């Protein structure tokens, strides 16, 4: 089980975008994080489709957040990039084989599916509690100020 690595990039991009007032291009973001700009573009497309960021075309274009940082949860980003379907997918094994349970008795989800679903919900709920604003606050507290201002300056250039 492996989550898309693009989630990490997406979260970093949201944090950076929140700090920069002007639109930032995908190329800039890619260079700042030293990752493939083509692939990062794909992740930004996903964020755009989910309505988390808005893209501006043409010169001096780029990406901007559509909402305030405290209105975007980590779960929003994860679901935008990694998808919304849960990790566990039941294949209805109980309806196959010689001792199959008839389909009309399978109206209620089996205990296995319920357990997995409950765990998945706990996971998502945990991610929903943290917003981009929380991340920013933590970054501001733990990162040397000269690096923060330097990065902001580098973005503007």
Partner DNA sequence: TTGACTCGGATAACTGTTGTCCGAATAGAA
Partner DNA sequence: TTCTATTCGGACAACAGTTATCCGAGTCAA
Binds DNA by CB under 7 A, chosen from 21, 22, 36, 114: 36
| Contact region with DNA (CB under 7 A), list: 12-20, 41-49, 126-134, 148-156 | 41-49
Residue whose pair of structure tokens reads 């305030």 in the numeric block: 68
* Backbone torsions φ then ψ of 60, nearest 5 degrees: 55, 30
In angstroms, the CA 23 to CA 28 distance is 10
Considering the rule CB under 6 A, would residue 137 count as an interface residue with ligand SF4?
no
Considering the rule CB under 6 A, would residue 94 count as an interface residue with ligand SF4?
yes
Considering the rule CB under 6 A, would residue 100 count as an interface residue with ligand SF4?
no
Considering the rule CB under 7 A, would residue 157 count as an interface residue with DNA?
no
Query: Are 12 and 83 contacting, i.e. CB atoms less than 8 angstroms apart?
Result: no
Considering the rule CB under 8 A, would residue 71 count as an interface residue with its own copies?
no
Binds its own copies by CB under 8 A, chosen from 17, 33, 38, 44: 33
Where does residue 157 rank: exposed (0-12), middle (13-18), buried (19+ CB within 10 A)?
exposed
Binds DNA by CB under 7 A, chosen from 20, 62, 69, 73: 62
Render 6-38 in DSSP notation, one character per residue. Answer: HHHHHHHHHHHHHH-SS-B-HHHHHHHHTS-HH
Residue whose pair of structure tokens reads 């205990």 in the numeric block: 111
Considering the rule CB under 7 A, would residue 56 count as an interface residue with DNA?
yes
Minimum CB distance to DNA smaller for 8 or for 134? 8
83: how many CB neighbours lie within 10 A of its CB? 12
The minimum distance between CB 60 and ligand SF4, in angstroms, equals 28
- Give the binding site for ligand SF4 (CB under 6 A): 8, 12, 90-94, 110, 112-113
């Amino acid at each position: 089980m492996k989550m898309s690595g693009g989630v990490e990039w997406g979260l970093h991009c949201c944090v950076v975008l929140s700090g920069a007032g002007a639109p930032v291009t995908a190329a800039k973001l890619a260079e700042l994080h030293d990752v493939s700009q083509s692939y990062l573009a794909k992740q930004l497309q996903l964020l755009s489709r989910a309505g988390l960021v808005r893209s501006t075309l043409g010169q001096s274009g780029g990406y901007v957040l559509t909402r305030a940082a405290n209105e975007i949860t980590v779960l929003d980003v994860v679901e935008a990039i990694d998808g919304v379907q849960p990790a566990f997918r039941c294949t209805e094994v109980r309806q196959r084989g010689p001792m199959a349970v008839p389909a009309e008795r399978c109206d209620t989800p089996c205990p296995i599916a319920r357990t997995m679903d409950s765990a998945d919900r706990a996971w998502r709920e945990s991610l929903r509690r943290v917003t981009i604003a929380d991340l920013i606050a933590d970054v501001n507290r733990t990162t040397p100020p000269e690096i923060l201002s330097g990065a902001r300056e580098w973005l503007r250039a």
